[in-house]
A and B are shown apart, each in its own frame.
Chain A
Amino acid sequence: MSDSPIIHANQLGRWYGEVVGLSDLEVLFRPGITGLLGPNGAGKSTLMRLIVGELKPSRGSISVLGMRPFANRALYPRLGFAPQQDALYDDMSGVGFVRHLLRMGGFSSGESKRMATTAMERVGLADAMDRKCGQYSKGMRQRTRLAQAIAHNPDLLVLDEPLTGLDPVGRRQIIDLFAELAKDGKSLIVSSHVLHEVQSLTDTIVLLHRGRLLAQGDVGEIRGLLSSHPREVRIQARDPRRLGSLLLSWPHVKRVEVVDDSKPLDEFESTGSDEPNRIGELIVFTEDLNGFYGKLGGAVQETAPGMLSLASSDADLESVFDYLTQ
């Protein structure tokens, strides 16, 4: 799969009267799955509507699969869009709705019937596809919106909050479907508030805040660039104070906090009678995580209590999101 950008926003701005939806956005989307994140009002839906050509930029430009998207008929066969709003033709059956939209895409009656059925099966609505949309639950309606987006086998899927309204099992199924689509060479742009689910899908994110680009790229790389927030490493160790005072002397370490050193050892595995009978946890704040890890092994040897567990606690998407939007 080529790694050349599929979407290029160049100084993209979009405002609604005096309200700024997006401002000076310079962003590239590459093939694969990209999580589009941001708090409410960040401009995620505006960007998606610009990508699918429902809106025109107020300023700058946007190119999708090499084309200007607004009302561009050449683009739409290659694009699938699941909007956020819960709107379907309630008097039609789910499969009928998808089929109707396929017919509008130029597919024959037979083709559209077959493709609509396949799409409904892929989103897990095989049993309910002949029921009217008006009788569907919120989750089923969400799945139907996804079905119409994937039914014509587009290269690029733009999915606005596609996990909303789904139960945990449904979310898992849909996430698996996304992974399957990506494996088939499709590109997906997925906006969501459910950060851990986005992280389970992809490490590539575009983070918007108040209509501006806050960060873009791999979650781990973005975290590494946040120099004003030293990395946190949580260590459970016997004699955490002793370990902490040793670590403080290292150049990589900015600060050490002993969180709790009062837990009795019998909660954990006991290894010898001459070791301290209390264990605890400390948080180490370091600006050089790799250097810190490299040196840590030796330190554990130096401190008799040793180390029971080690975890980098703020490298996940949630933490990155919090740091960036604070």
Chain B
Amino acid sequence: MESKTLTYLFTRPVPRWTLFLGRWAASALIVAVLLGVSAWWIGFDATSMAENVKLRPRHQVPDGFTGRFVVASVLSGVLYTTMAAGLSTFMKRAIIVGLSYAFVLEMVVGNMPGSTMRLSIQYYLRNIILDGEVKAFSNFGPFSTMELITPSEALLRLGLVLIALLVSGCYVVQRRQYVLSS
């Protein structure tokens, strides 16, 4: 647990929840920058390639794709980071559980047909990327059959999830006792 240094932080006159928020903000910022730059690069590259190659209309990269892709990527990083941070406030193997959630549960639930996919974060991220232009992505199975919502609605719901995760994390850190296994 924090290389056993948590004691020093918890015996200072600062609210415990601010320690959680500070740690979360630092890690979320790093993840957001890394993912944002990567997403922009991919989006820029994809758009450039599409402009240089003559594609059928259904294979064209939609307008504004790069921006939406960057937003969705940054949001995904921040959300999964928040989830891992939240899990780590009350479990020891948070990183394993977090990764299992992201790569197993999200993959399964997020690709289920019908409205089940709404239970995954991926669903809302896709809605931000698609912005109603589902035809452009009709080659991708799950995209072509999904029921769309507007990007602003997706953003709102993800924002609520993010706030809920942060509030839960702050609450747990404020109330919970952390006992060193030694």
Chain A residues engaging chain B, CB cutoff 8 angstroms: 16, 52-56, 70-71, 73-74, 76-77, 79, 81, 83, 85-89, 101, 104-106, 148
Contacts and interface: CB of A to CB of B under 8 A. Distances in A.
Interface residues of B, number: 19
Interface of B is mostly: loop
Contacts of A53: 10-11
Contacts, number: 52
Interface string B145-179: 00000000000000000000000000000100111
B105 interface: no
Interface string B10-28: 1111111000000000000
- Those 5 A-B pairs whose CB atoms lie nearest each other, nearest first: A87-B4, A76-B13, A104-B12, A73-B13, A85-B4
B6 to A, nearest CB: 9
Nearest to B7: A83
A109 to B, nearest CB: 16
Given A54-B178, A85-B182, A104 B7 contact: no
B180 interface: yes
B9 interface: yes
A76 B179 contact: no
Contacts of B10: 53-54, 71
Given A54-B178, A55-B177, A87 B12 contact: no
B4 A56 contact: no
Contacts of A76: 11-13
A53 B176 CA distance: 11
Contacts of B11: 52-54, 76, 79, 81
A83 B4 CA distance: 10
Nearest to B14: A104
B74 to A, nearest CB: 28
A324 B182 CA distance: 27
